[in-house]
Every structure is written in structure tokens, then in C-alpha cells.
Structure 1
Amino acid sequence: MSTQPREELLERFLRYAAISSQSSLKTGSVPSSEGERVLAELLAGELRAFGLEDVEVSPYAVVTSKLPSNLPEGKKVPAIGWIVHMDTVDVGLSPDIHPHVVRNYQGGDILLNPEKDIWLRTAEHPEIERYKGDDIVVSDGTSVLGADDKSAIANVMTALDIVIRENRPHGDIYICFVPDEELGEQGARKLDLAKFPVDWAYTIDCCELGEVVWETFNAGNAKLTVKGIPAHPMSSKGVMVNPTLVVHDFLNMLDRAATPECTEGREGFIVVKGIQSNPSKAVLTMKVRDHNRKLYEEKKNLLRAAAEFLRVRHPRAGIELELSDSYANIADAVTNENRRGIDCLDQALEETGVEAKTKAMRGGTDGSYLSVKGVLTPNYFTGAHNFHSNCEFLPMSSWEKSLGVTLKLMEIVARGE
């Protein structure tokens, strides 16, 4: 293996990306794809080869392990951990990823796939021109790149390798790899926290150089089911209840300005995911998002009120609304006691010369779930752009700096400052 961190990162990433591990809503199981289990076993084997302790792969393909402290006897520092997801997202593209590297990018459009004439165009993604002279990892245009989150797996595994072979000082470090983050943190929900006994943890999941996240959406799901009364058109008057039109009335009660395409920053929204309907039944699925807990609850109450009005307007229809919470805002879990996890992250960026770009994420991470469970888990950048897209790309200089932050976090905690 090369001694250069950049090539170590790339070598590992290419190995992990070669395993198709796209998660799927269709199976209803965890893990939702066999490739995630294959990747879990591969990572567990590498962790054992590093000499980590308590390496286990659960029936849900959750990998847990521990690198014991090598600090002098009697020196106690916080135990920290990293949790990284193994799945790639399903956005209707190929589950198979074929990345390649554009060496010494000189600007302009990038031809991702000559055979299929697929391009990454600067007119659509002008941010790539900021990386002239850099090596850039891209897909072949038929899939996502999978930097979300296999670049983070490579980051953590490379950091472990460096720390172990160079015998760098470190406290207890716990490593966890989980499936199905893209399906609403399903893998993290299967983590036995007794096997991840950390004072705080980190995710490395999105986005460009310097981005730090410890504020995420409160997130929930909503499903409206309408049972209608079918009838032949020749005798429908006063008999038929068209469930599709009932759902249409429900949608007309929602604020069209409170949708993802009309909001930004900390503005929340309700988004329609899909409608399935026939003459007898219609099912409307939605997502509810807001950083502010009070406004999040108000959005759910709006849906309840709309459903209740719908029952008045269509008394013969069967109308049922189901609401469920998915994850919560990391910021609401921050206390004076656990704030040190964020402070150490800020310090790590400062000491590695990376300008922090703290932002409120319009989404969530595995840390959104863990933080609610008492394990504060802020997030920092992989360095990649355009997640969930075939135009996803990863500048290798940014990736190296993300690795530098990982190593610096281990160092800062070991210093006991």
C-alpha cells in the first residue's frame, strides 16, 4: 500500500465502491440489500487485521469494534467513536458504481461516459471549476459516485491504519458501520448502544470542504389513506366517492409555498412523496421537516386539522391519517456536558487549517438518531459535492483534509485538553 494518504484513501474507496450496496425500500428488511452484508463482513475482516477488539457483525449487518487506548496507565480521556453508513442511495440509477479519477483537472466540462455521452457540465455545476489542478473522483455517469458515504468509510479506515502503524497516542476509539442510513437511519436504530459506549461520536456524511453540522431537521412521515365508494358512471350520482379527488381536496389545504422547492435555510416544509390511487382507495405519502421543534409539531397539527376537515366534507369516505417521527434535530440534544464533542471538532478544523462552515443541514444523519438516544453526534465534511446525483464528485485535496480532521480529533482527545 502506498504511504501517501491520498492514494490510501483512493485504494480503499475503489475497493468498497466495487461492492454494490444500494439500499432498497422494497425488501422491508435490515439490511435491505445483500451487498451491505458483504461490505460489513469485508470491513469486519479489515478491522480484525488491524488488531481491533470486540469486532462483531450483528444479524442486521451492524459492525461494531473497539481500538483500546494506548495512553499511559492512569490517563483517562473520553471515549469517542465514528459511525458511518455502508449503503448508497437509490435515486433510480444503477446500483453498480464505476468511479474513475480525473487527474490534474484543468477546468471545463468532464466527460463521464464516452459510450453514453454523459457529461458533468460546468454550466450546471460551476463549483467544480474551484478545483482546477486537483485530482477529482467521479462516477461513469450511470450511478451516484457513492462518496456518500464510502469516502467516509475509507477516511476512518485509513485513519485507523495510520494511527496504529505509527503508534500515535489515542484513547478508546469505537468504530461502527451501519446499513440503510438512506432509508431513515434504519441501521443506526439497530445498533446495540452497549457496544458503542462513547462519550460522543462523529459522522462524516456530506458535504464540501469545511462544512460542519450539528443542527438537522426534525423529521417525520405522514400517510393519508382514503377509502372511497366505486360505482359505474351510469349510476354514480349520490353514490360514488372518488378517493383520488378526496386526496386532491386535502392537497389544496396545504401551503404550496411550504415545499422544498420554495424553501431554504431553516425554513421547514411538507413534501408530497407519492400518490397511489384506484377507484376504491388512494394513499398519499408525505414528509414533514423543520429545524424548529415547535414549528415541526405545528406542521403535524396542520395535517391533523386538514384530515379532520376532510372527514366533514366527505362523511362517507374512510379517512385515516398516520403520523410518525423519523429523527430529530441534533441541536436539541446539545448540553453543557456534551458540548465538548462540538468544541473538539471546531478545534480540529482550526488546527488543520480548515475554515469551518457551520450550517443547519436540510436533512439528517445517523447522528440525528443517536443524539436523541444520548450520544451527541455532530457531522463534518467528506469534501464531496452533488450527493444523490450522477454528477457527484470528490476533490481529493478536500478528502485528504477530511482525513486530517479525523486524525486531529483522535489527537486532541488523547491530549486530554
Structure 2
Amino acid sequence: MQTRLLERFLRYVAVPSQSDPQQTSVPTTMGQRQLAELLQEDLSKLGLIDLEISEFSVLTGRLPANIAKDIPAVGFVAHLDTVNVNLSPVVKPKLVRDYDGNDICLNGEQGIYLRVSEHPELLKYKGQDIVFSDGTSVLGADNKAAIANLLVALEILTTDKEREHGDIYVAFVPDEECGLRGAKKMDFSKFPVAFAYTIDCCELGEIVYETFNAGNAVIKIKGVSAHPMSAKGVMVNPILAAMDFADLFDRSQTPECTEGQEGYIWVKGIQGNQSEATVNLDIRDHDKEKYEERKQTILTNVEKIKALYPRASFSCEINDTYGNIADAVTGDNRKCIDYIYTAMAELGIEPKTIAMRGGTDGSYISTQGILTPNYFTGGHNFHSNCEFLPLPALEKSCQMTLKLIELIAKG
């Protein structure tokens, strides 16, 4: 299985599909459309039907049930994009066979190393085959490890007729890294499932069904410009107003000062000139009530800054980005989470349940009435050039997919 997974993974990372948060279209880059078209071709060869790529490059399809038994339809979701962190969009993967436990030279020409002293998690995978990037890009295991997982699982299901399954729907969505934009463009009439799973990030054994509630705020400030020779008592500097606004927030409630289930408000950017300035904030909290309180804190601070700068003008727009998966869990739909723990027990995988300090496509899909928890791909160090993917962990992830389908078929 590892060989097939590696072949698929290398096939898909060869397509540059880095998203671009500066763009407003969906998809934000055409590489994602190219990858969707490649996957449509591959899925068609495996016998999936109802394959369709929407105008937003959301690819959906179905593997029909091979038994008459009434089995709930299940969905699997992976995203097409790799993250844009100012690294090269072109991935040059590097396979290290039988890792020896020493530092890894990712790029000799540029002197880029992955050092065990900085990444001791490497030692867990001594003796294993591991895929790295060449240090000039992310690896793209987020989320092409999941894409490889699903394609190999579907290949096994279509060739091994002994494996019984109900209807299996797949959705490959763009721009997950840009605020789950692709998931928000899904046509759920083409994804009529009882529940679904995302396979995204996380090392071997990690399970996520609790994510942040997430939103953003944009505060726009218009000052009063004047020439310095006559500025006294006239000029209102919007950049200084923006800085004073940022100072109103509790410095202990920021990403660098919080962990676990602690939320935060992140002053993510300040841009400005002599006439106007913009402050961008991210709002995060696992607790819905506290999340709403953080939004109110922003509004309160806007009023405070208005009082400090009465001759400036201020506007504030707050938008919700995604919700906490846990808020969608009920006694009636929790079984899809229970399947994950049962699958891990049968596969001998130690479960590691985490409250993710982020979100998945399932964070949005779950708000649409389809509970969508997440399980691991097996990779490490996403969103950096230190990203790596141990092949045995990816194999376990694919085994999880097959085991979940098996359990669902048994009822």
C-alpha cells in the first residue's frame, strides 16, 4: 500500500496548487482547477459516477454501493490547495529511505537543514521512509496526503469486490487555506450524506471534532491630513490611531500567549498612509459564548478609540468565518465520531483527541447539518518548509479510511 500511496502523492504534489488569499475569486488560483481536472480523470478510471467540477472548482463524485443493505451514505472531503506562506508554489519532494535518526539536508545548495535538535519529533520515525520537501516550499501533505489516501482507498474498494460498502461520496474543495472558501461553495445536493469526514493535518492517531469558532474584523480609519508646516491642531494621523486601537486589547489574549482551548484576538495587520488606515483582526475561541464576547470587545474598543479621536471617522465590519464542530454534535449524530475510535482500536492506533487551534472544512460543513469530524494524515509541521510525511503513518491513515467504510457497512 505504501508504494501506491507514494505514487499517488507524488503525482498530486507535482501540480502547483497554492492558494492566494489576496484574490477574491474561487478558486483563487488556476492550479487548483488543474488538480481538480486531474482528479476527475483519475476518479473516472476508478469507476466513480456523477463526477462534476463546479464553476468554483469543487469536484464531487460517488462510488455506488455494492450491496443492497440500507447503509447510510458517507462523505469524505479533502482540499485541493496548499498554503501560501511566501514559499515557492512548486513542490520538489525528497524521499528519504530508512531514516537514520540524523539531521536531514533538505537543500545542499541553499544550506537548508531539518535538524533533530529543533525537530525531535523526527526520532519517532527512525527506520521509516519519509517524504520531505527540498526546503524551498511546503511539502503539500496538507492536504495532498489526504487526496492520495482517498484515491488509494477507492482503488482498493473498486478492485477488491469482497469489501462491502454503501454509497461513498467524495468532495475535493479549493481554498481551504483562505477561510474555507471552497467548502462554502459546495452544492450539498451533490453531497447527500448522513455524515462525512475530513482527513487533514495531524500526526498519527490525532482526532479532531472540536475546532475554533472563527471570525475576522476590519476596522477602517479616516484621519485628517495636513502639511507638517500647518499640521498642529489639524492633522489626525490614522496610523497612530490604529496603533492606539491595537493597544486597547489585552496582550495576554493573543496567539503567542495562549494555548489549548484558550481563545484570542490577533492584530493580524495594520496598513495605512497619511489619510487612512486599516486594522485586520482575527477572532478565535472554542467557547461560543466567549467568542461572542470577544466580538463585543472589539466593538467596545472601537467606541473607545472614537472618543480618543473625535475628528477621525471609523467603521467596523465583523464576519464569522467558521464554527466549532463540537457545537454540531448531538446524541443522534455522534456515531460517526464513535466509528473513528472503533476503527483505531481495531487497527491498534492510539487515539489522540485534540481541540484544534484552527479549523477544517468540516468546521463549515458541520454547520450545514452534516457532522464532519477529522482524522489524521500522519504528517508533521504543516505550513512550513519543515513539513514531512512518514509513509507508514500515511498508510495507517488510508487503513483508517477503509476501516471506517467497513464499520459503516456493518452498521
TM-score by length of 1: 0.98
> Structure 1 counterpart of 2:151, which letter?
M
Q: Which residue identity does 1:100 align to in structure 2?
A: K
Aligned position for 2:75? 81
Q: 1:42 aligns with which of 24, 38, 49?
A: 38
Structure 2 alignment gaps of length 5 or more: none
Measured after TM superposition, the shift of residue 26 of structure 1 is 2.6
Q: Which of 249, 256, 265 does residue 251 from structure 2 map onto?
A: 256
Matches of 1:146 and 1:279 in 2, distance apart? 41
Number of residue pairs the alignment of both structures matches: 410
Q: Match of 1:319?
A: 314
**Aligned-partner residue type, residue 260 of structure 2:** G
Select the residue among 403, 408, 412 that pairs with 2:407. Answer: 412
* 1:338, distance to aligned residue in structure 2 (A): 0.8
Question: In structure 1, what is the equivalent of residue 137 of structure 2?
Answer: 143
Q: Is 1:301 equivalent to 2:296 in the alignment?
A: yes
Secondary structure of residue in 2 paired with 1:201: strand
* 2:19 maps to which of 16, 19, 23: 23
Large movers: runs of 4+ above 2 Å: none
Write the distance in 2 (CA, Å) between the matches of 1:202 and 1:232.
59
Q: Who is 2:57 aligned against?
A: 61
Q: Which residues in structure 2 correspond to 1:231-380 (within 5 Å)?
A: 231-380=226-375
Shift of the alpha carbon at 1:27?
A: 2.5
1:191-210 counterparts in 2 under 5 A?
191-210=186-205
> What is the match of residue 6 of structure 1?
2
Q: Report sequence identity in percent.
A: 58
Is 140-149 or 18-27 further displaced after alignment? 18-27
How far does the alpha carbon of each residue in 1:171-204 deviate from its partner, in whole angstroms, 9 at most, with x for none?
1100110000000100001110000000000001
* Counterparts of 1:26 and 1:300, CA distance in 2: 24
Give 1:360 deviation, angstroms.
Answer: 0.1
Q: Deviations over 1:372-407 (max 9, x none)?
A: 110100000000010000000111111111111000
Aligned alpha-carbon RMSD (Å): 0.7
- What is the letter of the counterpart of residue 131 of structure 2? V
- 1:384 is paired with a residue whose SS is coil
Aligned to 1:117: 111
Q: TM-score, length-normalised on structure 2? A: 0.99
Deviation at 1:32, TM superposition (A): 0.7
- Structure 2 counterparts to residues 151-170 of structure 1, below 5 A: 151-167=145-161, 168-170=163-165
Of 388, 396, 399, the match for 1:401: 396
